[in-house]
Chain A
Amino acid sequence: AQTVTQSQPEMSVQEAETVTLSCTYDTSENNYYLFWYKQPPSRQMILVIRQEAYKQQNATENRFSVNFQKAAKSFSLKISDSQLGDTAMYFCAFMEGAGNMLTFGGGTRLMVKP
């Protein structure tokens, strides 16, 4: 079974600064996908960014980028130029290559301070 660990329950960052959220996972699979989901206060969970394990290039979506270290089984999320709207719970998640189900980490609560 896969496990996903987020070691930072809470983090804070000043507006306009950069913050990195950590995620590690454990799997024996070689083909899989990794995701970061964002859950704003009282709002629906949305996908922020995804990474295919077979791709060496780190995924980037505007101010969001990942540092994917396959050998170390590490998948961190970097948020640049943090905005107040980035305040949310962030979940790291894993999906097997041929599967449909997600395994989530425990989440990191991020507070962006003005």
Chain B
Amino acid sequence: DVKVTQSSRYLVKRTGEKVFLECVQDMDHENMFWYRQDPGLGLRLIYFSYDVKMKEKGDIPEGYSVSREKKERFSLILESASTNQTSMYLCASSCSREGRSYNEQFFGPGTRLTVL
């Protein structure tokens, strides 16, 4: 089974702090994603990475950056946390499309971040 893990289930930070959210997958997937989940808005894509050191902006990248130095690990960075970044953050991974009709995304358990 695919396993996607996130470093923390709950995190409380103060405004202005630098925050790191870590995600690790164990299935050698090429693609990794960071989403933000808010009530009524569903999941919105923050950043997407299709290979080591490669990244693409999603729908809401402002205030976030990412790092992918190793294939299995994808980090989301909040350079200076703000209260409007209080949310649930979900990581996901999927294999590449080559030879496949579609690629299912597998999700981590989520990190509930509160910024005070």
Contact of A44 among B31, B104, B109 (CB under 8 A): B109
Interface residues on B, range: 20 to 34
Distance, CA A46 to CA B90, complexed state (A): 12
Known: A43-B109, A50-B102. A101 touches B48 (CB 8 A): yes
In whole Å, how far is A55's beta carbon from the nearest beta carbon of chain B?
11
Cβ of B103: which chain A residues have Cβ within 8 Å of it? 100
Is the CB of B18 closer than 8 A to any CB of chain A? no
Cβ of B102: which chain A residues have Cβ within 8 Å of it? 33, 50, 52, 95
Contact with A along B80-109 (1 / 0, CB 8 A): 000000000010001001000111110111
Is the CB of A16 closer than 8 A to any CB of chain B? no
Q: Does B107 contact A45, Cβ atoms closer than 8 Å?
A: yes
Cβ of A100: which chain B residues have Cβ within 8 Å of it? 31, 48, 50, 94, 97, 103
Stretch in contact with the other chain, from A62-70, A73-81, A104-112 = A104-112
Is the CB of B55 closer than 8 A to any CB of chain A? no
Contact with B along A72-114 (1 / 0, CB 8 A): 0000000000000000000100010010111011110000000
With CB as the reference atom, state the residue of chain A lying closest to B102.
A33
Contact with A along B31-50 (1 / 0, CB 8 A): 10101000011111100101
Cβ of A45: which chain B residues have Cβ within 8 Å of it? 90, 107
Task: Pick the most buried of A52, A91, A95, A100: most chain B CB atoms within 10 A of its CB.
Answer: A100
Cβ of A11: which chain B residues have Cβ within 8 Å of it? none
In whole Å, how far is A41's beta carbon from the nearest beta carbon of chain B?
12
Q: Does A98 contact B97, Cβ atoms closer than 8 Å?
A: yes
Known: A50-B102, A52-B102, A98-B97. A104 touches B44 (CB 8 A): yes
